[in-house]
Structure 1
């Protein structure tokens, strides 16, 4: 068990060979390099809040330089709500509430879809009863039939 290949012999595998390990590493690096793409389009991240950069103190400001309208458009688009940026939700969490406009216009005169609260005699009586009913937590008020000498 002193050598490093003891575990591999028990399982029936050959011990690790340094040449094979190097070949695997070379193949992995070759595949990674084949998938890499050089990114050369650099710009300021519009999703990160940044401060305005001042010009260098020893350089006079260029009066002919105008505003970068494409950058301003990117900043304004980044600050929009997701419903205005995209046609469809981008994640499953955005699906909830994405279509928030009602399917039918609300018509209060239509009795098929409008159910206003109607007070009857019984509901008016119950409302008045609960207004005057004593609270359970108020210990100064005794319930009917409770003896005041029981304490």
Structure 2
């Protein structure tokens, strides 16, 4: 057996461990702000019916209400541009050009001609 394989180099192991800890701490971030998860349903329990104390005035948490409303908005209202490629299809839901009812290229209204008036006349006479 070789003498080098059985020996454990504790100094080298400690240096590797210290280097690993430094790398982990470099990318750690301390979170100090916490909020309620807007994806979970919130259950508010009422007071007991026979309690004689007046109900406490509940103040609305506007940040939670805004976060809840934002979660339930459609992506086109939340973000200025599509986040994924699949959102690009249908992102602009409105018409691409303004509607102009006078433009004959886009409006195909019925026109009365002598042929259609005669056909309507004969149809009325057959009934």
Partner of 1:34: 26
Partner of 1:20: 12
Give the distance between the partners of 1:100 and 1:88, measured in 2 at CA.
13
TM-score by structure 2 length?
Answer: 0.58
Per chain length, whose mean CA-contact separation is higher, i.e. which structure has more relative contact order (CA < 8 Å, sep 6+)? 2
Give the distance between the partners of 1:56 and 1:39, measured in 2 at CA.
34
More helix by share: 2
Q: Report 1:22-101 matches (<5 A).
A: 22-46=14-38, 48-54=39-45, 62-101=55-94
Q: 1:81/1:22 Cα in 2 relative to 1: closer, same or farther (>3 Å)?
A: same
What CA deviation, in whole Å up to 9, does each residue of 1:63-96 have, x standing for no partner?
2332212211211111111111111112222222
Give the distance between the partners of 1:61 and 1:28, measured in 2 at CA.
58
Matched residue count: 103
Which runs of 5 or more structure 2 residues have no equivalent in the other structure?
110-127
Q: 1:115/1:25 Cα in 2 relative to 1: closer, same or farther (>3 Å)?
A: farther
TM-score by structure 1 length?
Answer: 0.50
Which runs of 5 or more structure 1 residues have no equivalent in the other structure?
6-15, 117-151
- Report the 3-state secondary structure (helix = DSSP H, G, I; strand = E; otherwise coil) of the residue aligned with 1:89: coil
Give the distance between the partners of 1:66 and 1:80, measured in 2 at CA.
24
